[in-house]
Amino acid sequence: MFGKKTEATTEKGTGFVTRLRQKLNRGGSWLSYDLANLVPGGKIDDDVLEELESELIMADVGVSAAAHIISELRKRLARNELKDLVALRDGLRQTLIDILAPVANPLCISAHPGPFVILVVGVNGAGKTTTIGKLASRFQDEGYSVMLAAGDTFRAAAVEQLEAWGERNNVPVIAQQAGADPAAVIFDAYEAARARKVDVLLADTAGRLQNQQGLMDELIKIKRVLSRHDAGAPHETMLVLDASQGQNALLQAEKFHAALDLTGITVTKLDGSAKGGILLAIANKLGVSVRYIGIGESAADMQAFNAEDFVDALLSVENKFRKEST
């Protein structure tokens, strides 16, 4: 296990960042908003910053994070640093990066006596199963062996979807009959992965039970069962969030984090109606590592989160502050 690895694949930043910029800047929002419209006279003052704060809030940044951003810009204004539009955009860009950079931590698969277990959680419709399929493809490209666990036993469609991803990636899927105990399914998968010396076990989970507490209790039970057999498992508890949910996504993150002590977040559906500001709200409020972001259906449309690339996409900046990776 973990003895033979191919060189990890590295995506060309330009392609993904360009697509990200195009996806985020569709439709009318501050993401495609010309900052010049905020300063028609060319003067940056407190009124301009107040209007910018409103734009941030409408872009799902949230009241708390928006207030922090404007507070930082006001400090620059007081120091007479916001002399023109370029300085405003420069200051805004740096402030956004300062919020996001601390949570831009890539997921590292470390060696263990058993499989590296990734427990994937989130509400129905967020894209958990699809994310698992994309991660399976990614990890295989990086040279890891992978197994999937169909822990969402409440929806037959979830098992079928996971099995379809397993067939597509040629990875085994451990599943049981509908209504089976999810903790038992995932533990069986853990035992199978350990026996076969599989590197990574990706475990799907249900997104909705009859009540929210029931869902959280079930997930806590899964973690408890795994930890009895491997003190470090699950090694990653990853929340998948639908970016188009806006502030509801932040509420979901808060509840899952309080119950499960999340170690990572993947944000999906940034290619839809999402304005992207929700990542700033989550980073500012929770500080949980953002592992990946998704802008489409293909495996290549989900990439590791990079703070500078994301901010430049938000501001529709291309090659103006730094050269993109190639």
Residue with tokens 């997104």: 207
Single out the residue of 7, 19, 10, 97 nearest to residue 280, CA to CA. 97
What is the tens place of the pLDDT at every residue in 26-65?
654 454 455 667 776 678 889 889 988 988 888 889 899 9
Q: For the chain, where are the E strands, in sequence order?
A: 116-121, 146-151, 173-174, 200-205, 236-242, 264-268, 290-294, 302-304
Rounded Cα–Cα distance for residues 215 and 2 (Å): 33
pTM of the model: 0.89
Q: Are 14 and 319 in contact (CB under 8 A)?
A: no
Q: Which positions ≥6 away from 153 have C-beta within 8 Å? A: 159, 176, 177, 178, 179, 180, 181, 182, 185, 206
Rounded Cα–Cα distance for residues 76 and 49 (Å): 11
Rounded Cα–Cα distance for residues 289 and 13 (Å): 20
**DSSP code of 82?**
-
What is the tens place of the pLDDT at every residue in 283-309?
999 999 999 999 888 888 899 999 999
What is the tens place of the pLDDT at every residue in 310-321?
998 888 765 444
Average pLDDT along the chain, 326 residues, taken 10 residues at a time: 44 67 62 62 85 87 94 94 88 95 95 91 92 94 96 86 92 91 96 96 84 84 94 96 90 93 95 79 95 88 93 70 39
Q: Which positions ≥6 away from 69 have C-beta within 8 Å? A: 53, 56, 61, 92, 95, 96, 99, 280
Q: Are 321 and 292 in contact (CB under 8 A)?
A: no
